[in-house]
Amino acid sequence: MERENIAVGLDIGTTKIVAMLGKKNEYGKLEILDVGKAKSLGVARGVVNNIMQTIQSIQEAVSLAEKDSGYKIKDVVVGIAGQHIRSIQHSDYISRPNAEEVISEKDINELIAQVQKLPMLPGEEIIHVLPQEFKIDGQEGIKEPIGMYGGRLEASFHVVLGQASSIRNVGRCIKSAGLDLSGLTLEPLASADAVLSQEEKEAGVALIDIGGGTTDLAIFKDGIIRHTAVVPFGGNVITEDIKEGCSIIEKQAELLKTKFGSAWPGENKDNEIVSIPGLRGREPKEISLKNLSKIIHARVLEIVEQVYAEIRAYGHDDPRKKLIAGIVLTGGGSQLKHIKQLVEYITGMDTRIGYPNEHLAGNSGEEISSPLYATAVGLVMNSIRNNTMSAVPQEDYVPEPVLVQKPTVEEQKIIEAELEKEKEEAKVAETESTEKTIRRSFFDKYIDKIKDFLDNAE
């Protein structure tokens, strides 16, 4: 019987860490087997700032996902975001020695490898090299060059860069949590896979993923990624503003934002008031919903204007670069009341809320179809594309064997001395019954010595 390919995505966010297991069903749709969610304690604005807390949060999310699914997670595809991410446009070319041979995948890989050697700022690392359009011997607008003839192969690339230290910190957290890293994907690209249709990518669309710590942007046109950016503000700064503006604790501010908050102040009447319980016997605090909406509106306006500045930097005003499909909002922040109307008002572009349900199987729960899980669903889809088997049934799970090195000459002498001692002891014990002379083999003793050494080394 063929083994199932179980894919795992791990979304390390600023407010939550999500471990999601999924597989493709017989209809090609994504069936989510289980989700583990833990509060993210060691991440700020998409960047790990406390290794130990992040490891604990990852372990908690993974263990919750494993608990009910019946699978043991081995490796994960992880999303990367954060204020350290930036992208550049770059063009490069190779001259092929034999123009009479057709262009193959080897030529594309050679061109990408050349781009990987790009000079970068100190401490930066390339995360993605995404080919956009190819040019063969001056002929432009080629999307698929494989199989064509030509001597000079040229391409424009979208190159995503990030701080090497931040990327390595994420890798270290994964490793220390007892997992392997099978892939690293830019979070807005993962979210785009989950919520955008191919038609939207062809027509031109801007995906805005409003997370807890960052707001991520990905722009597509003619089915190709054109621009990515990370704005270092998200839902957390809105909560922080409510906390300061209303003089309440963070937990109450978050609850106010999600239950009563609106990005459009005109919606609330002056006499609409919500009462917040006072701390430790203090009098309850009355909050005007109109004032609450004004606080939220001011911060959302700032976030949307920064993202819109990135859309204009891409060249949206150019008729050839026009985003006909407008804007798609996703992520936890997209659930804020009236945010869609505010984005349409500021940008003048058609806007919709992006749900990851297009790729999900029909029996998926309502919670998983929420924009909150768009990135996690996209990461699972990425893992499936890589054809990974990231999880195995608990009953089939076999821990990695401990490798024992071949003994050195000195150790061999000790072994031989021990064996001689064993023989002498055996002669002395010849008169005793078998049960009374049970003793472990020297190999067992040797393994114990190795284990002791490893334990002491830790």
Residue in the block written with tokens 């609106």: 262
**Angle, alpha carbons 186-183-369 (nearest 5°):** 60
Average pLDDT over residues 149-172: 93
Q: Which of 370, 436, 409 is nearest to 191 (CA)?
A: 370
Listed in sequence order, the residues at least 6 apart from 111 whose beta carbon sits closer than 8 Å to its beta carbon are 92, 93, 94, 131, 153, 155
pLDDT for residue 84 is more than 90 = no
Distance of alpha carbon 61 from alpha carbon 12, whole angstroms: 10
The whole-angstrom distance between residue 72's C-alpha and the CA centroid of its chain comes to 19
User: Residue 208 corresponds to which tokens in the numbers above?
Assistant: 């805005």
Phi-psi region of 338 (alpha: psi -120 to 50; beta: other; left: phi over 0): left
The residue type at 58: I
193-219 in b/e form (b: 16+ CB < 10 A) is bbbbeeebbebbbbbbbbbbbbbbbbb
Average pLDDT over residues 241-267: 90
Average pLDDT over residues 425-436: 42
Distance of alpha carbon 5 from alpha carbon 217, whole angstroms: 31
H or E stretch covering 392: strand 391-393
For residue 152, the tally of other CB atoms under 10 A from its CB is: 13
pLDDT for residue 106 is more than 50 = yes
pLDDT of residue 422: 57
Identify the band that residue 451 occupies on the pLDDT scale cut at 50, 70 and 90: very low
pLDDT of residue 68: 79
Mean pLDDT over all residues of the chain? 85
Residue in the block written with tokens 């193959």: 104
Distances (CA, A) of 351 to 12, 265, 296, 305: 27, 19, 19, 15
The whole-angstrom distance between residue 325's C-alpha and the CA centroid of its chain comes to 26
pLDDT for residue 200 is more than 80 = yes
Listed in sequence order, the residues at least 6 apart from 274 whose beta carbon sits closer than 8 Å to its beta carbon are 256, 260, 286, 287, 289, 292
Task: Say which DSSP state 321 is in.
Answer: G
Beta bridge partners of 32: 22
The whole-angstrom distance between residue 9's C-alpha and the CA centroid of its chain comes to 7
pLDDT of residue 3: 58
Task: Say which DSSP state 338 is in.
Answer: T
Distance of alpha carbon 445 from alpha carbon 128, whole angstroms: 50
pTM for this structure? 0.81
Distance of alpha carbon 131 from alpha carbon 120, whole angstroms: 18
Percent of the chain with pLDDT over 90: 60
What backbone torsions phi and psi does residue 391 show, to the nearest 5 degrees?
-145, 150
Contact 218, 207 (CB under 8 A): yes
pLDDT for residue 198 is more than 90 = yes
Give tens-digit pLDDT for 120-151.
889 999 988 999 999 999 899 898 999 999 99
H or E stretch covering 230: strand 224-231
Which ranges of 204-263 does DSSP label H, i.e. alpha helix? 235-246, 250-260
For residue 310, the tally of other CB atoms under 10 A from its CB is: 19
For residue 393, the tally of other CB atoms under 10 A from its CB is: 13
Residue in the block written with tokens 């699914």: 69
For residue 34, the tally of other CB atoms under 10 A from its CB is: 18
Contact 379, 190 (CB under 8 A): yes
H or E stretch covering 333: none
Q: Which of 56, 51, 42, 50 is nearest to 14 (CA)?
A: 42
- Half-sphere CA count of 251, side-chain side, radius 13 A: 5
**Angle, alpha carbons 372-377-378 (nearest 5°):** 110
Higher pLDDT, 273 or 340: 340
